[in-house]
Amino acid sequence: MATISLGDALRAGAEITMTVEPRPPTPPPPEPEPACRWEAMWKRGLEPGDAFDVGGVSGALASYLKRAPRPPEGSAALVPGCGRAYDALALARHGFDRVVAVDIAPTAVRAAMSFLEDEADGYDEDLGIYYIQIKGTRFTKIEVYEVDFFDVPDKFDFIWDCTFLCALDPSLREKWATKQKALLDENGTLLSCIFPICEKVGGPPYALSVPLVTELLKPEGFEAVETRVWR
């Protein structure tokens, strides 16, 4: 086979057309999965009082529980994206018989368990359940699971969504509303702490507003019974 160099070809007067295809832009690296992103944040060493961790029960929940009657016996509550589970403890102390606290980040779940080991009145190692004694009488229980909110089974009478919606990618908001509906008992209550209320792009936390959350929940049949500003 005869080969000819580019230089020889040009000297011989050959017309050479070169097509230069534009190089496709390098795609940005894929966003890490939410579980990895949150786990990375927890793993960096999130101490009580750092970032979103308020170091104790959320002020908004404490203020609500002060005026909320004790729930009827047998009531169950869910805390999605529970972090250190301070609020799960407050709900169990308030009288919810079963409180389920879930977080997608394994380190958050370990932090919650370590917190509850110190604070709970008892722990059943076989069942993985923490017990809280109510005024020297009955016990309520707290279960902590490493699970994605969207995979939580069961039904609950009360859901405390505290800085959880703002932690989710905005593309998941309708799915969040549908899942809340699926998890709540027919006469159940969803209490949501809408934060941060501001104008900003990006997150987490992603900016929210009362009308935004109200409109998200309306198609699922939710009715806003009370909106309070907590400072």
Ligand X SMILES: C[S@@+](CC[C@H](N)C(=O)[O-])C[C@H]1O[C@@H](n2cnc3c(N)ncnc32)[C@H](O)[C@@H]1O
- For residue 129, the SS3 value is strand
- Least distance (Å) from ligand X to the CB of residue 124? 24
- Least distance (Å) from ligand X to the CB of residue 87? 7
Q: Which of residues 150-179 bind ligand X (CB under 6 A)?
A: 162-164, 167
Q: Please confirm whether the linkage preceding 69 is cis (ω < 30° from 0).
A: no
Instruction: Kindly tell me which of 98 and 179 has the beta carbon lying closer to ligand X.
Output: 179
Q: Which of residues 46-105 bind ligand X (CB under 6 A)?
A: 52-53, 58, 80-83, 102-105
- Least distance (Å) from ligand X to the CB of residue 24? 33
According to the binding rule CB under 6 A, does residue 142 interact with ligand X? no
Residue by residue, DSSP assigns 60-108 as HHHHHHHHSPPPPTT-EEEEET-TT-HHHHHHHHHT-SEEEEEES-HHH
Dig out the tokens for 25 from the structure.
């832009």
The number of residues that bind ligand X (CB under 6 A) is: 20
Helices assigned H by DSSP within the chain:
6-11, 34-43, 59-67, 86-94, 106-119, 173-183, 210-217
Instruction: Kindly tell me which of 105 and 113 has the beta carbon lying closer to ligand X.
Output: 105
Interface residue with ligand X among 64, 96, 115, 149 (CB under 6 A) is: 149
Instruction: Kindly tell me which of 48 and 72 has the beta carbon lying closer to ligand X.
Output: 48
Instruction: Kindly tell me which of 76 and 102 has the beta carbon lying closer to ligand X.
Output: 102
Q: At what angle do helices 210-217 and 173-183 cross, to 10 degrees?
A: 60
- Least distance (Å) from ligand X to the CB of residue 147? 7
149: closest CA among 55, 73, 38? Answer: 38
d(CA 48, CA 52): 9
Interface residue with ligand X among 38, 130, 156, 222 (CB under 6 A) is: 38
The one-character DSSP state at 154 is S
Would you tell me which residues interact with ligand X (CB under 6 A)? Answer: 34, 38, 52-53, 58, 80-83, 102-105, 108, 148-149, 162-164, 167
